[in-house]
Structure 1
Amino acid sequence: MNRTGRGAGRGTQTGSDAATGRALAEELLDGRAAAVPSPGAGPDVWLAFADQVRSGAHAGRRLPVPAPPALRLCHPRGWIREAALAEPDAPVELVAVLTTDGAAPVRDRARALIEDALRIHPEATLRAVTPLVLRLGRRRRGDWVLERFEDALRRRAAADTPWWHLPGPSTAPGGTTAPGSAKAPGGTTARVLAELLDCPDRRARQFAVRLALTGPGRADALECARRAAAEPDPATAALWTDAALAVPGSDGDAVIDALIGARIPAVRAAGVTALRRAGRAAEGISHLADASGLVRACARWLVGQDGGDAHGHYRWLVCDPAGPSPYAVTGLAECGRGEDTDLLRTLVAHPVGPVRAAALAGLRRREAVVEDSVLLALLDDPAPSVAREATLGLLPAVRRLDPSYLAARVDVRGPLHVRRTAFRLLRARGGIHALRAAVALIDDWHPRTRATARAAVCACQWHPAQFEGETDTAELAALLKRSAKLFDAYGLALRRSRLGLKT
């Protein structure tokens, strides 16, 4: 059985990993390649590879002669899979997949091989297969392999140097965390779990974190906080954050500062909330204009607990001569006081686009009335965010808008964001104006706009009664002819019949 030194998946997305696995399987089935997924391939690559080989063999495709072990391990016939397990170069990843096999002889033999691999080559096997095992554990017969790997890691970790007392992730140039930078203090399993903590596969990281936090010994608060700040997965970051704040001494300045500097809003919010326990509630003012609404809410609570007035600070921030932050404008609107409406109205004319957009969103939050003429003019705003906010304000009033004004902005020569917002309003209005705009955009250069237009045309029922008083059959027939390529022969004939046209 081949054993590899590294098992961390390197794919950036599950979909692309699965596509890679299927492509490798096709190459192997066609005899165009003699290799299986590389040792560093992610779990989704191996699972897609195995499924594609089995489905190809099910479809009657002849296997290359001689068939590589990887193909025979994925064969639909159980006796072929069982025989292939005797091959010395059977990939350990595919052997792990067969521990969940539906055929008991195959499953039992694969499990025995995995037991041997964990005993003889524990470090290589744990590294290579753990991310894949976490996927297999969700299968019908996956409990065994998941429990086996977890027990192996727990037993060995208990005998090794505590691996959760690791130095923080090292920082690469530019302030980014270098993957795999943590060094375990010692022990075989300590090194394996240290790598799992930095594994690109988020499920493997979550698994390693849970083992770390339930193992013997006390976790280090600062280490947990640093890892929470560097973690891109919200669920994993939450585990580190909760652990950092639960450890005695977690109210230290270094721990809180690490949490506040995190990318994930929930981690920053936890750090801001912890400022009160550390006697640093006065610092809540500096977080009132955070990009996250959750963090802003925690900052307002913190300022209030310290006896301050968050609303007064927001008004000062919005009136800052250097220019307000759009998040300060949003925070002011979140305070919900009526006296701020006039101030928000003045900000609609601010020279900075994000500030204008935040002011419009704040007025909508306050349910303040904004004239249709003002919002219609903002549809042509050069900032897409402003046009989107104006559209949201116009949606409740779409029936009283002039459709010709909107239709003129669907022209493909205009800015994309103007075309899309006008089309959205016309779709909300419905009727012949929406259908005209949709037909005009079925060949738009922008993929999403084109797809939305085509979906709207296909969803239309094409009944004359649907457009009664708006147009005649001749125009509907012309629009149907322009969009005929979107329908098959039956669908086109059905719509022509609804319009009373000869098929």
Structure 2
Amino acid sequence: MIFERRKSVAEALQETLESRGHDVGVLVDALVRVDKSGDASEITAAFATITETPALVVTLDVYCRYQRALVDAGHRLMTGEAGPLTTAIAASHGNGRVRELAVTRMLANPRPEMLPFLLVRMTDWASPVRDVARLGVVRLLHDDPSTYLRPAAETMLHLRRRRRGGFGVQQLYAAAYDAPVAVLEQLMCSANSAVPRFVLEVRTRRGDLKIDELVRLALTNSDKGVRARAGEAVAREAVWTGRVDVLRKLAACRYGEVRISALTGLARLGHWEEIAGLLDDSSTLIRALARDAARRKGVDAVDWYRSAVSGANPSLGAIAGLAESGREEDGQLLYPLLRHPAARVRAQAVGALRILDAVPVDSVRSMVEDPSRRVVRAALKALGTRA
């Protein structure tokens, strides 16, 4: 007799996801099998596989809710045979009494890896299940934030989009506001971008981030959202305290979302002249701010753009700026750029002519054969608009 090889938890999970939940029984069998083995390292590894992505626990809850595959898990829970994995998976059982018992058992011997399953039950449609889960999770977060705040944040920030998810998010904020700085610093290292953004919001409201720390986040953090929020916080503080040096430091960085906050701060302090020098910046927002600054300094931005695009090597920002502020008749200034040796300049010129509604159809039609895909895309878009 040929026996089918038993699938690992990772293989069973992949099969479940690929089948859109139809083969969830394969996953449940794999989890229960690991649970029965009693091998602590295998159980820990199985939990890690399931909980590494917050959305996955929610997805599995939906898959498992009305599946016959959970009958054995529910039975093992009711008879006291269930280990931690079976208990966690039984928390998705279609019977509310089974779910409530699973929640009670998890809270009686809490483990950080079980928290995502408890958080899902905080949004349960049955109030007895929901209330037990909420009371237990609030206690865990209050008593031991260093252990439970991170797994709570990973999942709860995802669950806030779910019905009845608001309560959990409120408790997460409450726990974070009271958490030690060391705990929040650990959360900043999360690979889930929502978590560092959440932590930055909390610490900014708590007021325990020094301006130098915020500057470092704005200049070096890998997440655009964190950089933008840190930049906004720095700009507010710098405007209040008159720290022009800090604003200039941020205004010189390479991230547009940080620079716009710094330049807006400089504008509030009346430093219009240095902002007006950025008329051909690569950022649309910064160009707009620069045009406002130029107007305040008596500089005609459109004339500046006309002169800039007529040079031998106009910047992409100057071409875009003319399109944003010029008139249809300014399009003729861009015609020579359709033959520019740099593909990016040719493409930018075509795009600008489209915005000005000044596309020379015959010239642009021939650009459909351009060796640069970037130029070809710009030409087709311009010709489509004309049509």
- Give TM-score, length-normalised by structure 1: 0.59
Is 1:290 matched with 2:301?
Answer: no
State how 1:55-94 maps to structure 2 within 5 Å: 55=66, 57=67, 63=73, 68-85=86-103, 86-87=105-106, 88=109, 91-94=114-117
The alpha-carbon deviation at position 340 of structure 1 amounts to: 3.5
Stretch of structure 1 that moved more, 138-147 or 294-303: 138-147
**What are the residue-to-residue correspondences of 1:438-449 with 2, within 5 Å?**
none
Residue 394 of structure 1: aligned partner: 383
**Distance of 1:80 and 1:99 partners within structure 2:** 15
Displacement of 1:94: 0.9
Distance 1:93 1:60, change over 3 A: closer
C-alpha separation between the residues in 2 aligned to 1:143 and 1:337? 50
Q: Which amino acid counterpart does residue 151 of structure 1 have in structure 2?
A: A
Within a 5 Å distance, the mapping from 1:104-253 to structure 2 comes to 104-154=127-177, 156-157=178-179, 189-215=180-206, 217=207, 220-230=210-220, 237-247=227-237, 248-249=240-241, 251-253=243-245
CA-CA distance at 1:84 after TM superposition: 2.4
Residue 256 of structure 1: aligned partner:
248
d(CA) in 1 for partners of 2:258 and 2:191?
20
Distance 1:197 1:36 in 2: 23
* Counterpart for residue 300 of structure 1: 291
Letter in 2 for 1:255: L
- Cα distance in 2 for partners of 1:250, 1:223 equals 18
Give the 3-state SS of the residue equivalent to 1:145 in structure 2: helix
Q: Say if 2:321 is the partner of 1:331.
A: yes
Look up the SS of the partner of 2:314 in the other structure: coil
Q: Distance in 1 between matches of 2:375 and 2:296?
A: 35
What's the secondary structure of 1:363's corresponding residue? helix
Are the counterparts in 2 of residues 222 and 254 from structure 1 also a CA contact under 8 Å?
Answer: no
Which amino acid in the other structure matches residue 269 of structure 1? I
Structure 2 distance, partners of 1:39, 1:369, is: 55
After superposition, the Cα gap between the structure-2 partners of 1:306 and 1:257, relative to the gap in structure 1 and judged at 3 Å, is farther
- Higher helix fraction (1 or 2): 2
In 2 relative to 1, CA 93–121 (structure 1 residues): closer, same or farther, beyond 3 Å? same
| Paired amino acid for 1:30 | D
How far apart are the structure 2 equivalents of 1:226 and 1:302?
Answer: 28
Q: d(CA) in 1 for partners of 2:386 and 2:236?
A: 51
Q: Secondary structure at the match of 1:36?
A: helix
Query: Bigger radius of gyration, 1 or 2?
Result: 1
Aligned in 2, Cα 1:302/1:397: closer, same or farther, shift over 3 Å?
closer
Q: In the alignment, residue 342 of structure 2 is paired with which amino acid?
A: V
Deviation at 1:279, TM superposition (A): 6.0
Matched, 1:268 2:259: yes
Q: CA deviation at 1:59?
A: 7.1
Give 1:355 deviation, angstroms: 0.8
User: What is the deviation of 1:260?
Assistant: 4.5
Q: Which residue of 2 aligns with 1:96?
A: 119
The 1:326–1:144 alpha-carbon spacing in structure 2 relative to 1, beyond 3 Å, is: closer
Q: Tell me, which stretches of 5 or more residues in structure 1 are unaligned?
A: 1-15, 158-188, 399-503
The 4+ residue runs of structure 1 with deviation greater than 4 A are 22-27, 58-67, 229-238, 277-280
CA drift at 1:74: 1.8
Once residues 104 and 279 of structure 1 are traced to their aligned partners in structure 2, the CA distance between those partners, rounded to angstroms, is 57
Structure 2 residues not aligned, in runs of 5+: 1-13, 35-45
Instruction: Tell me the number of residue pairs that the alignment of Structure 1 and Structure 2 aligns.
Output: 344
Looking at structure 2, the residues matched to 75 and 19 of structure 1 have their Cα atoms a distance apart, in angstroms, of 19
Name the residue aligned to 1:385: 374
Amino acid at match of 1:258: L
Corresponding residue of 1:354 = 344
CA–CA distance in structure 2, aligned partners of residues 327 and 95 of structure 1: 52
Give secondary structure in 1 for the equivalent of 2:339. Answer: coil
Contact in 2 for aligned 1:244/1:250 (Cα 8 Å)? no
The separation in 1 between residues aligned to 2:159 and 2:380, in whole angstroms, is 47
Amino acid of the structure 1 residue aligned with 2:296: Q
User: Does the C-alpha gap of structure 1 residues 250 and 241 become closer, same or farther in structure 2, counting only changes over 3 Å?
Assistant: farther
Contact kept, 8 Å, 1:260 with 1:268, in 2: the verdict is yes
Q: State the secondary structure of the residue aligned to 1:324.
A: coil
- Tell me the CA shift for residue 333 of structure 1: 2.8
Shift in CA distance, 218/277, structure 1 to aligned 2, threshold 3 Å: farther
The aligned counterpart of 1:31 is 30
Relative to structure 1, the CA distance from residue 70 to residue 296 in structure 2 (aligned partners, 3 Å threshold; closer, same or farther) is same
- Aligned Cα RMSD in Å? 3.5
Percent identity over the alignment is 29
CA distance in 2, matches of 1:134, 1:221: 27
Aligned residues of 2:70 and 2:93 also touching (Cα < 8 A): no
Alignment partner of 2:301 out of 303, 310, 324? 310
